[in-house]
Amino acid sequence: MLLGPHGLSLVSDIERIEIFAEVGVMLLLFTVGIEFSLAIIRRLMGTAFLGGLIPIAIWGLLGYLAAPAIGLEHGQGVFAGFLLSLSSTVIPLKALADAGQVDSPHGRAVTAVAVFQDLLVVPMMLLTPFLAAGGVAAAGDGSGWTAPVLALLKAGIVIAGVLVVALWVVPRVLASLTALRSREVFIISVFLLCIGTAWITSEVGLSLALGAFLAGLVVSESEYGHQALADVMPFRDSLTSLFFVSVGMLIDPAVILSMPFGVLAAVAVVVLIKPILIGGMLLVSGRRPTTAVQSAFLLAQVGEFSLVLMRFGTGHEVLPGAVGQVILSAAVLTMIITPLILAIVPRLEPYTRSWEERGWWRPSRDLRIPAEGDGGAPRLANHVIIVGYGFNGRNLARVLKEIEIPYVVLEMNSQTVRAARAEGESILYGDAASAGILERLGAREARAMVLAISDPVSTRRAVAVARREFPALHIIVRTRYLMEVDELYRLGAQVVIPEEVETSMEIFARVLEHYGVPRDALVKHARRIRTERYEVFRPEGRQSPGQKKDEPEALAGLKSYLSAAEVQICSLPPRAAAAGRTLRELDMRRRTGSTVLAVMRDGSLTPAPPADMRLEVGDSLVMVGKPDQIGSAIAMLMEGAWDDPGGERA
């Protein structure tokens, strides 16, 4: 805005950067195609169709009806409705990632709707030339709505042809290119595929963006999709930033100041109508009121792809300049106030949960928990309640089934519930933060409840409710991060397992075991670390008298196993007695107390060598142990000072 022709006019010719901006848009849609894949499109169809497509269609209808009132033709009104209908993908997903709620029910719903809306930008671009003033500005020989229909059919044929050819050819070409082991060649080839496909689609009368999206979709179906995405992302971010610069240069502050009420009215329409449409459709799809409200307000802004569509429409002169400025300004303002809207959302949750608890909303009949006497499953006792049927919950259920411990699973993803029920799983739909649902799952008679979900907010709420309503219930919580441990213990969990810390513990346990620390000592210290609630991993870890500064108490005992140890390398000369014998025959750990960490042979290192490895002249053995143990080991290797099976000294 500052540098453009409506600001300081340091850049008066916007076309100078439009070429780079166009490439940025192509790469943006190319990466969207890579991140999609046909499997994801199929999986998102249910929620995304109702939450994404239908609200956009309603926005188009509202624009069509309101067009005469604001001095627009009907086609222009539809285009304006399309612009206001698209929500941001970056803003809500960034907010969800910061809160650790991407895998929560509302996180999954937001992702489905936002990504599906991004996909719908492609057909919107196809329709844009036919929505310009006059209705058929670029329709060729067609008239009315015949031309758009023919264009869509033409696009469908082109898309099918590109996909068929690319699905057969592209994987083989990429495989040949990766065999060259040249990263530069691979990157250039990916760019060629993106720009080349875009050029082909533009030559047949379709948009560059459509071709870029198709190219990304094709790459996503190959095994090289992740690498291509990683290589393209830096270029995409840089060139896309030029696109947003070009959008900023289009904003005319004078027009905004001359029509402030129009801009504010557009903002109000978006912020009020969009949550109603998206939230209502999510309720129709079977989502809980809490999930629907949270998702709707996360998507209550005009998104970055609206700017892409507007920039595309500017080239076809779809909207009058003043109307375009109002919509563009409203889009930017809705993005700016989104954090304020998100701050209000948590305050609405108590109301939506009260609606659920009062029975004002009920899930579909096939997901309801049967009441006693309704012919449901018999009441359980001494069982385990598993909350969440993701990777951890599924594995726990399989183990409990194998050892015949009764359990019941509680899951908030309706598709997961239906799929697991079809496989005969004991799974029910419901929220673990509802005392009524836990009561009907037999929480008073349960032996334990395991929370294995990825939503920290829902986890904390479920722990608090379970501890308050069922004080005898043993609660085990899986969480991702160490910083959540203290709060979960405070709320009443008996065991909290942070994934990042347990992974670190297993890594250093394997390393220390390789250094000769006894396994029982490692188990003892691991137990101590857990008892101390992982204080050893905190920067402010407690210190005991005699400890060095910042030396964790739980690790101080391990030093006794390593303080007197040293690492030595011993090479076998031609007359070494150990040459020709296996490590099992030598049994150095039992006879000398030292441990062979690795064997170097012909410049190749073999860590943790197998017991049946036969030593050869010239081998170098990396050994760890106390000095006297290392000395005994060297004597045994050189002089053959070991006990043979008969008990005689060799």
Q: pLDDT tens digits, residue range 437-489?
A: 888 888 989 999 999 988 888 888 899 999 999 999 999 999 887 788 888 99
Which contiguous run of DSSP H or E holds residue 422? helix 414-422
Q: What is the mean pLDDT of residues 119-146?
A: 64
Asked, for residue 350, whether it belongs to a domain, the answer is: no
**390-413 per-position pLDDT tens digit:** 888 999 999 998 888 899 999 887
Looking at the fold, whether 521 and 467 belong to one and the same domain comes out as no
Looking at the fold, whether 212 and 254 belong to one and the same domain comes out as yes
CA dist 552 and 434 (Å) reads 40
Looking at the fold, whether 445 and 506 belong to one and the same domain comes out as no
Q: What is the mean pLDDT of residues 66-88?
A: 88
Residue 324 pLDDT > 80, yes or no?
yes
CA dist 103 and 454 (Å) reads 6
Asked, for residue 356, whether it belongs to a domain, the answer is: no
Number of Cβ atoms within 10 Å of the Cβ of 450 = 23
Looking at the fold, whether 484 and 449 belong to one and the same domain comes out as yes
Give the model's pLDDT for residue 34. Answer: 74
Greatest mean pLDDT range, 182-191, 246-255, 556-565: 182-191
Can you read off the two tokens belonging to residue 274? 């969009």
Torsion angle of the four alpha carbons 76, 81, 83, 88, in this order, in degrees rounded to the nearest 10: 180
Task: Decide which of 504 and 487 is more confident.
Answer: 487
Report how many domains make up the chain: 4
Can you read off the two tokens belonging to residue 182? 């040249």
What confidence category does residue 565 fall into, taking pLDDT thresholds of 50, 70 and 90? low
Give the model's pLDDT for residue 544. Answer: 41
Supply the CATH number for residue 425's domain: 3.40.50.720
Give the model's pLDDT for residue 564. Answer: 56
Give the model's pLDDT for residue 229. Answer: 72
Rg of the chain over CA atoms, in angstroms? Answer: 32
**583-638 per-position pLDDT tens digit:** 988 988 888 888 888 888 887 778 888 888 999 988 888 888 877 888 888 888 88
Contacts of 402 (CB under 8 A, 6+ apart): none
CA dist 619 and 601 (Å) reads 5
Give the model's pLDDT for residue 531. Answer: 73
Range of lowest pLDDT (202-216, 270-284, 554-568, 631-645)? 554-568
Contacts of 534 (CB under 8 A, 6+ apart): 482, 485, 498, 501
Q: Which residues pair with 91 in a beta bridge?
A: none
Looking at the fold, whether 429 and 553 belong to one and the same domain comes out as no
Domain range for 50: 15-267+301-337
Contacts of 436 (CB under 8 A, 6+ apart): 357
Contacts of 326 (CB under 8 A, 6+ apart): 255, 256, 259, 262, 263, 266
Looking at the fold, whether 613 and 468 belong to one and the same domain comes out as no
Q: What is the pTM of this model?
A: 0.62
Main-chain dihedrals φ then ψ at residue 512, nearest 5 degrees: -70, -35
Q: What is the mean pLDDT of residues 47-73?
A: 86
Give the model's pLDDT for residue 366. Answer: 54
Supply the CATH number for residue 627's domain: 3.30.70.1450
Give the model's pLDDT for residue 110. Answer: 84
- Per the document, the length of the chain is 650
Looking at the fold, whether 80 and 118 belong to one and the same domain comes out as yes
Last residue of a domain, one of 544, 561, 578: 561
Looking at the fold, whether 49 and 137 belong to one and the same domain comes out as yes
Can you read off the two tokens belonging to residue 232? 């393209």
Last residue of a domain, one of 455, 470, 493: 493
Q: What is the mean pLDDT of residues 186-211?
A: 78
Among candidate residues 39, 40, 42, 83, the one with its CA nearest the CA of residue 60: 83
Residue 296 pLDDT > 60, yes or no?
yes
Q: What is the mean pLDDT of residues 124-137?
A: 69
Range of lowest pLDDT (259-273, 343-357, 565-579)? 343-357
Give the model's pLDDT for residue 53. Answer: 84
Average pLDDT, the chain: 78
Residue 306 pLDDT > 80, yes or no?
yes
Among candidate residues 415, 460, 456, the one with its CA nearest the CA of residue 433: 460
Q: Which residues pair with 622 in a beta bridge?
A: 569, 598
Greatest mean pLDDT range, 37-51, 146-160, 354-368, 606-620: 606-620
What confidence category does residue 414 fall into, taking pLDDT thresholds of 50, 70 and 90? confident
CA dist 285 and 273 (Å) reads 18
Sheet of 604-607, strands arranged across: 566-571, 620-625, 595-601, 604-607
Give the model's pLDDT for residue 473. Answer: 92
Give the burial string for 177-213 (b: 16+ CB within 10 Å, else e): bbeeeeeeebeebbbebbbebbebbeeeebbbbbbbb
Give the model's pLDDT for residue 650. Answer: 37
Name the percent of the chain lying above pLDDT 70.
78
Give the model's pLDDT for residue 614. Answer: 92
Among candidate residues 412, 411, 436, the one with its CA nearest the CA of residue 425: 411
Give the model's pLDDT for residue 449. Answer: 95
In degrees, rounded to 5, the angle at the alpha carbon of residue 44 between the alpha carbons of residues 226 and 419 is 105
Residue 384 pLDDT > 90, yes or no?
yes
Asked, for residue 287, whether it belongs to a domain, the answer is: no
